[in-house]
């Protein structure tokens, strides 16, 4: 019999699982309260203070923040030499001034779909941490490992997984790691997609649109470079992608632009293909740089590791069993760039899981669908207890 199924048969676990459904709106309200505090990458301080105050009320011990605003709290196990680290990122892709208003698709208490920027990614993930802490406490579950609940910074954008790198530095390679996302229920991320990010800057002497016509224009040079990048052939399998996500440049309409830049995101499931596309773009940049009076510089601004935890590993099997136990089938196995990429890139067994279904991620009309949220929380409890080693009632 598998461990997850055995844990699910424990009466206390059964009662806790049932409570997720009856307390569903509490978890949703908590997610909304977290979502209402703006938390762009590198500006997570205010949300971190709020989450720390929530931790303090749950009775977790060793509640504290580090200097980059990662928030920690511990649910003590019977053997503190072992740690299970469960994390959810605090940051969002939305700038500080974004309107964070929540919208329901009907009367509040009947809506399953709730719209709000950053609600699924990742206020709900953080709310999952708090809900888990409350559930562990309320039921007095005892586990072998310490369970550290970590709300970390800098997962999105140019954060470069800095928050999670600090977390993995702190707990080391002997800890096990479980990463939560508010969306993505039913998926198990066990593969880390390698990501390279670059800033491409074009500089020219510029000039007057009429008087200097014909001199190199940074915007036009950058546009033509972007066009060349857009025409690159990338394989669908192993999936390899490029994206120009930000573009800036120029000063006035009648000035030949002297500066222009863009930010480029390259990803591949295969390290060699990621290196290949990076080199191809490097060559395009070099040839643009060869034109007179034109300077093109490509600077790396982000790098996320690639790696893979086998589907046969204990952690992936437990994650699969937890999803099946709550009635989710088939389980989908995914590659992605999540905080789990940090431990996975180091070969440390870890996965990222989701709590509910969601849509329009990273858009202003992002939404979470709470239809499966109770199952998502059930999966989280089962997997946490399996990974941390639930101490049975008769085992004391
Ligand atoms: Zn996320």
Of 304, 330, 351, the residue that ends a domain is 304
Identify any residues that bridge with 148 across adjacent strands, giving them in sequence order: 74, 85
Percent of the chain with pLDDT over 90: 87
Q: 55 with 91, same domain? A: yes
Per-residue pLDDT reduced to its tens digit, 328-350: 989 999 888 899 999 999 999 99
Contacts 24+ apart (CB under 8 A), 26-29: 26/131, 27/124, 27/127, 27/128, 27/131, 27/373, 27/377, 28/114, 28/127, 28/370, 28/373
Model pLDDT, residue 159: 85
pLDDT of residue 107: 84
Task: Convert the pLDDT of each residue in 3-29 to its tens digit.
Answer: 999 999 999 999 999 999 999 999 999
Q: How far is the CA of 327 from the centre of ligand 1 (A)?
A: 24
* The pLDDT value given to residue 393: 58
The pLDDT tens digits of the residues spanning 108-148 come to 888 899 999 999 999 999 999 999 999 999 999 999 999 99
Confidence of residue 305 (pLDDT cuts 50, 70, 90): confident
- On whether both 388 and 263 belong to a single domain, the answer is no
CATH number at residue 272: 3.30.70.360
- Between the CA of 155 and the centroid of ligand 1 the distance, in Å, is 7
**Do 299 and 339 lie in a common domain?**
no
Task: Tell how far the Cα of 15 is from the centroid of ligand 1, in angstroms.
Answer: 30
Residue 291 and residue 373 in one domain: no
- 118 Cα–ligand 1 center, Å: 9
77 contact partners, CB below 8 Å, separation of at least 6: 142, 143, 144, 145, 146, 147, 388, 389
Q: What pLDDT score was predicted for residue 394? A: 40
CA of 366 to the centre of ligand 1 (A): 12
The CATH number of the domain holding residue 375 is: 3.40.630.10
Distance 339 CA to ligand 1 centre (A): 8
C-beta of residue 95 within 8 angstroms of C-beta of residue 40: yes
How far apart are the CA of 7 and the centre of ligand 1, in A?
A: 28
Residue pointed to by tokens 């978890």:
27
Are 288 and 339 part of one and the same domain?
Answer: no
Which range among 215-219, 320-324, 337-341 shows the weakest confidence by mean pLDDT? 337-341
- Same domain, residue pair 291 and 251: yes
Q: Ligand 1 center to residue 362 CA distance, Å?
A: 9
Q: Give the pLDDT confidence score for residue 396 in this predicted structure.
A: 37
Residue with the larger pLDDT of the pair 45 and 302: 45
Of 333, 319, 336, 23, which is closest to residue 155 (Cα–Cα)? 336
Q: Name the phi and psi angles at 358, rounded to 5.
A: -150, 170
Residue 106 has pLDDT above 90, yes or no: no
Whole-number pLDDT of residue 135: 96
Query: Based on the domain organization, do 29 and 163 belong to the same domain?
Result: yes
Q: How far is the CA of 107 from the centre of ligand 1 (A)?
A: 28
Residues 145 and 262 in one domain: no
Are 12 and 152 in the same domain? yes
Q: How far is the CA of 377 from the centre of ligand 1 (A)?
A: 17
Residue 89 Cα to ligand 1 middle (Å): 7
- Cα–Cα distance, 60 to 33 (Å, whole number): 20
Query: What confidence category does residue 236 fall into, taking pLDDT thresholds of 50, 70 and 90?
Result: very high
- Cα(247) to ligand 1 centroid in Å equals 23
Domain closes at, from 252, 272, 304: 304
For residue 82, the CA-to-ligand 1 centroid distance in Å is 27
Q: Distance of alpha carbon 119 from its chain centroid, rounded?
A: 13
pLDDT given at position 395: 40
Ligand 1 centre and the CA of 186: distance in Å? 15
The residue from 252, 274, 304 where one domain ends is 304
Q: Are residues 320 and 342 in the same domain?
A: yes
User: Averaged over 239-255, what is the pLDDT?
Assistant: 96
The whole-angstrom separation of Cα 260 and Cα 190 is 38
- β strands within 10-162, DSSP E: 61-65, 71-75, 79-89, 103-104, 113-115, 145-152
Q: How far does the centroid of ligand 1 lie from the alpha carbon of residue 88, in Å?
A: 8
Domain range for 360 is: 3-193+306-395
Q: What is the pLDDT of residue 59?
A: 83
Ligand 1 centre distance from Cα of residue 121 (Å): 4
Q: How far is the CA of 320 from the centre of ligand 1 (A)?
A: 20
The Å distance, Cα 291 to ligand 1 centre, comes to 41
Summarised one tens digit per residue, pLDDT across range 80-95 is: 899 999 999 999 999 9
133 Cα: distance to centroid of ligand 1 (angstroms): 20
Calculate how far, in angstroms, residue 141's C-alpha sits from the geometric centre of ligand 1: 28
Mean pLDDT value across the chain: 94
pLDDT of residue 290: 86
335-338 CB contacts, 8 Å cutoff, 24+ apart = 335/189, 335/191, 335/192, 335/193, 335/239, 335/269, 335/308, 336/189, 336/191, 336/192, 336/193, 337/192, 337/193, 337/195, 337/267, 337/304, 338/155, 338/179, 338/181, 338/189, 338/192
Work out how many domains the chain is built from and give that number.
2
* Dihedral-angle region of residue 27 (phi above 0 means left; psi in -120 to 50 means alpha; beta otherwise): alpha
Instruction: Specify whether 185 is located in the same domain as 205.
Output: no
Q: If you measure from the C-alpha of residue 336 to the centroid of ligand 1, how many angstroms do you get, rounded to a whole number?
A: 11
Domain check: are 198 and 259 in the same one?
A: yes
Q: How far is the CA of 132 from the centre of ligand 1 (A)?
A: 18
pTM of the model: 0.84
């Amino acid at each position: 019999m598998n461990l997850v199924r055995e844990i699910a048969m424990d009466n206390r676990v059964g009662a806790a699982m049932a409570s997720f459904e009856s307390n569903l709106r509490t978890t949703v309200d908590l997610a909304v309260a977290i979502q209402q505090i703006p938390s762009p990458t590198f500006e997570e301080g205010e949300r971190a203070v709020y989450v720390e105050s929530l931790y303090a009320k749950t009775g977790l011990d060793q509640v504290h923040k580090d200097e980059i605003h990662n928030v920690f709290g511990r649910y003590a196990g019977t053997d503190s030499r072992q740690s299970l680290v469960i994390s959810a990122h605090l940051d969002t892709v939305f700038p500080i001034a974004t309107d964070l208003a929540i919208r329901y698709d009907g009367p509040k208490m009947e809506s399953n779909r709730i719209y709000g920027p950053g609600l699924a990614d990742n206020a709900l993930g953080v709310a999952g941490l708090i809900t888990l802490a409350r559930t562990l406490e309320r039921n007095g579950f005892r586990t072998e490992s310490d369970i550290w609940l970590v709300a970390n910074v800098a997962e999105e954008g140019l954060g470069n997984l800095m928050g999670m790198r600090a977390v993995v530095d702190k707990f080391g390679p002997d800890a096990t790691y479980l990463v939560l996302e508010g969306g993505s229920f039913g998926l198990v991320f066990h593969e880390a997609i390698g990501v390279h990010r670059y800033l491409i800057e074009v500089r020219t002497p510029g000039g007057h649109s009429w008087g200097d016509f014909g001199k190199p224009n940074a915007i036009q040079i950058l546009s033509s470079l972007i066009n060349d990048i857009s025409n690159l052939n990338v394989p669908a399998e192993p999936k390899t992608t490029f994206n120009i996500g930000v573009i800036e440049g120029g000063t006035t309409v009648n000035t030949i632009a002297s500066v222009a830049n863009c930010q480029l995101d390259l990803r591949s499931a295969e390290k060699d293909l990621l290196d290949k596309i990076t080199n191809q773009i490097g060559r395009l940049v070099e040839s643009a740089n060869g034109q007179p009076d034109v300077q093109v510089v490509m600077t790396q601004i982000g790098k996320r590791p690639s790696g893979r935890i086998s589907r046969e590993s204990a952690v992936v099997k437990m994650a699969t069993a937890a999803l099946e136990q709550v009635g989710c089938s088939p389980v989908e196995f995914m590659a992605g760039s999540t905080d789990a990429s940090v431990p996975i890139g180091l070969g440390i067994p870890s996965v990222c899981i989701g709590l509910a279904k969601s849509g329009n991620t990273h858009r202003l009309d992002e939404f979470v669908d709470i239809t499966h949220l109770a199952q998502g929380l059930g999966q989280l409890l089962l997997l946490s207890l399996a990974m941390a080693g639930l101490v049975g009632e008769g085992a004391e």
